[in-house]
Structure 1
Amino acid sequence: MQVTDILNQADEQLQNQTNPFSDSPDTNLAYETQKGRMLWGKSDDILASGELDYLENKVNLIFTSPPFILNRKKKYGNETGEAYIKWLCDFGPLFKKMLTPNGSIVIELGNAWEPGQPVMSTLVMKALLEFQEKNGLYLCQEFIWNNPAKLPSPAQWVNIERSRVKDSFTKIWWLSPVTKPKACNLNVLQEYSNSMKNLLKRGSYNAGKRPSEHDISETSFLKNNGGAIPSNVLTYSNTASSDEYMNYCKLNKIALHPARMPADLARFFIKLLTDPNDIVLDPFGGSNTTGASAEELNRFWLSIEANDQYIKGSQGRFKDKLISSNF
């Protein structure tokens, strides 16, 4: 046996030892890469079937954006009204079964409006609260995703009657079965502002008591930590007119997913709450922004999607990384 064959065999053995999918069944497999798998089917059916029992207590992060609460059906599928709350809550035990003891669940939910009325529905808040309370989860932190490029909506009240301003944010809840899940904000530091850079360069700060009587010392603010701690208001636009995914869909005449999230949003939570080679699960994969972001950040990933067209299109995010596909 040649040296190259021995090295390749060793690499394959190492990959099989660390890859959580190496000995898993191929049921419902749509496609796979070296780091992840897309499964075709309804997430509640697949999670309850026992097919993923090999990942029980091994998933570090469930990051997902379920179909939004709406008062009418959309083509990408959604429950409506009170039925949505029960549907979402029923995922709690399925999610908790998958998580590591210090794992996290991050859910983005869009806003809803009462049909034909310029008033917001409270179903979103009810759904989040019931999901948290009925499943014994702690709310680690609430985030706001502000999308400044979002089109003005609801159009009737914003554009026509001019009685409301545009709705440009969605809520993101970080939940966990424990009060201290794995997390490190050093992984998501942002570039210092110019004023902070000048303070660090000057080496002095206006220390002392503030009107709140909080005493600020120079040592608290003059240490260079490599960046600023971000806030829980995350501003990311989703304005790309052309990317690998969109080009692939256009070339292959595949319908674009209508509710894609920006990759930066997925990257933020993956970096905050996981380490390389951790496992990330997205039960509502859509165009698989989560899987592609996890792959880019060297995490293992598993996504589930019921719509075959969205699965076909999501393959365009992986280019030459695909090692098998049933689509």
Structure 2
Amino acid sequence: MKKKVAMLLGLLMAASAVMGCSTEELYAEVSTEVEAYNAAVAAYNDQVAQYNEAVGSIKDENKVLTVELGNAQTAINGDGEPYDGATLVDLKNAMAGLESAKVEEPALLEEEPTVEINAEMSRDELNQIKEEIAERSAQLDEKAIPEAPSKPDYANALEELRNALQSYQTSVQSLNQITAPADEFVIERLQGVDTITKIEAVTEDHDPNGQLNKQGGYIGCIYFRDNQIDADSLYLEGGEEDVIEIGTVGGGAIEIFQTPEEAEARNQYLAGFDGAGFLSSGSHQVEGTLVVRTSDDLTATQQKELTEKIVAALIDLR
């Protein structure tokens, strides 16, 4: 169609060159050429608009992708650390997967301008427009519009990233809960463990180890009784049950430290008594800034199960 328009314009221009005509006739002739050219431009620009709309959909989807990646990076750059380091690995992998799925944005096409004409123009101006239209028509015939790009589908990659981010953030919150928590928090969580019957926090006036709030010592220590241990095996005097005085042998304890390093140092100290008979410290492991201890009077299976229940209660986000 464009080539036919160009041919028509060429014939009209040739006819005008051969035949002399008045300014009014020249204006009418150029008006016809302008109308034909502008119609061709309108058709071209309509195709350009459709192409640019497709490119715009890619830009919109990439904006969503950029925001989601930014949210994930902001979370990683935060002060918190995850309880489960694997959640950070998963999040970074999900980010890389989304980055690799990103579609490059094609450049937008420019629309062609139309030509304007009015009856007040001189013969020279009209002839100049005739030449301009001939040149533009040839250029328009050479322009090819690429096939419109498809809108990218990031749904699966975005869902994977959002799930990984949620798991990471949950893990960070869980670790925050067991980083130098208050006694009251630990006590409240221990109350949800089915086999634990009695709980008591040490004070500076009632602390068998004498380490409460001292340099390198714990900032809190909560002893508990566990009903899997027969009270008759504890050699209680006069039937009295002072949970703190009975100590970890009656169930276990949660020792709260200010830093993970202090908790690790305490855990290493307790490890020195492993397998030492009646001096054995029972099971012990570091969770955040806590040392979770269970009685040596429990079987290995009971120690493992009780520890898992305690840790689950402590990191649960309610």
If asked which structure has higher relative contact order (CA below 8 Å, sep 6+), I would say 1
TM-score normalized with structure 2 length: 0.21
Whose strand proportion is higher, 1 or 2?
Answer: 1
TM-score normalized with structure 1 length: 0.21
